[in-house]
Structure 1
Amino acid sequence: MIQSILGIGASLAAPSIMKRLKDQKVQVLHAMPGRVRLQCNHWKNHTIAEELEEQFSYFPIVQSVRASGITGSLLLEFTTPYLTSEQFDEIVQAAVNISTDAYRYTEAAMKASMRNGLSSVDHLVKKQTGGKADIDSLLTLFLLMKGTTGFAANPAFASSLLFWAYTLMTKESGER
């Protein structure tokens, strides 16, 4: 009965799952009795690798699991030497679903790149000014100047600039 319900659910979800599989481009690197190694470039992230390991450790059919955030591979050893095609499909589908769900725990690459770029510029400003200025102090100075000089023309906007300057000056140091 449960297998029938799972089969019906899988057939209804198959188009969505196949699209995710195609998007993820999961490859079977090798398969032999009792084990399989899958690889996906989207799994080249330590957070996703940890999530794959954690979630697959709860599968009764999985004896051991190792995931690498460096290579994007997932090695699964099973309690049985052979899997049915349905079991194998469920394993691959689960890997895709787990990794897709794990994206919410990862930092966006664009944000990390922007943070690194800002940190580099901040370091350069500090270096060029002998430690007398940084990005925050320059931005604060800009906001103060624009806020005070623009007060007569647009008091509401100037007030918001002054508030942003105040916020930058009073924030706790040590964020970077």
Structure 2
Amino acid sequence: MMQSLIGLGASLIAPTLMKKLKDQKVQVVHAMPGRVRLQSDHWKNEQIARALESEFSTIPLVKNVSASGITGSLLLEFTSDHLTPEQFDEIVQLAVTTSTECYRYIDSKMKKSMKKSVHSVDTMIKKQTGGNADIESLLVLGLVFKGATGFTTNPAFAGSLLYWAYTLLTREDGRS
């Protein structure tokens, strides 16, 4: 009876594990007794690489660990020459879980691209105006104009635009 329940549990968990592995596209790049190199394009981030190294360095079965945020690879050397299929599954699952948990702490590629674009536009505006304007000052100017001209049609919205402009001008984060 107990083996049937364990088998049922494994059959329910296995598709979830396989879906995560498929989503992460984890590949075994190299394997030999006591050593395996896993790779995933989703691991091409230094924060994820550090998290993988940190997580695997606490496991008694792992003798040495090295992760690369450039190649997205994880090299594991074990204290034993052979792993059971269950141990290997746990290792891969831990790598997938660790990397997935890191996503909430890293900037998305889209956000990085948007920041880079805003910085480029800001630099261009500063160069073109001899440092007299930047993207933030133009934004404030636009907010003040829209707020001042919009009072007759929508005073509440116009007031919020003026307040937003005011907060941008008076904040003290070293950017004023």
Normalising by structure 2, report the TM-score.
Answer: 0.91
Partner secondary structure for residue 168 of structure 1: helix
Q: How does 1:50-69 map to 2 (within 5 A)?
A: 50-69=50-69
Q: How does 1:29-108 map to 2 (within 5 A)?
A: 29-108=29-108
Partner secondary structure for residue 80 of structure 1: coil
Partner secondary structure for residue 77 of structure 1: strand
Counterpart of 1:168 in structure 2 is 168
Give deviations 1:25-68, integer Å, cap 9, x for gaps: 11111111111001100000011111111111111111111100
Counterpart of 1:123 in structure 2 is 123
**CA apart distance, 1:5:** 9.1
Q: Quote the RMSD (CA, aligned, Å).
A: 1.8
Give deviations 1:108-141, integer Å, cap 9, x for gaps: 1111111110000000000000000001100101
Normalising by structure 1, report the TM-score.
Answer: 0.91
State the alpha-carbon separation in 2 of the partners of residues 6 and 18 from structure 1. 18
Matched residue type, 1:146: K
Counterpart of 1:23 in structure 2 is 23
In structure 2, runs of 5+ residues without a counterpart are none
Counterpart of 1:154 in structure 2 is 154
Q: Quick one: percent identity of the two aligned structures?
A: 66
**CA apart distance, 1:12:** 3.0
Partner secondary structure for residue 51 of structure 2: helix
Partner secondary structure for residue 152 of structure 1: coil
State the alpha-carbon separation in 2 of the partners of residues 70 and 42 from structure 1. 11
**CA apart distance, 1:9:** 5.0
State the alpha-carbon separation in 1 of the partners of residues 38 and 121 from structure 2. 40
- Number of aligned residue pairs: give it: 172
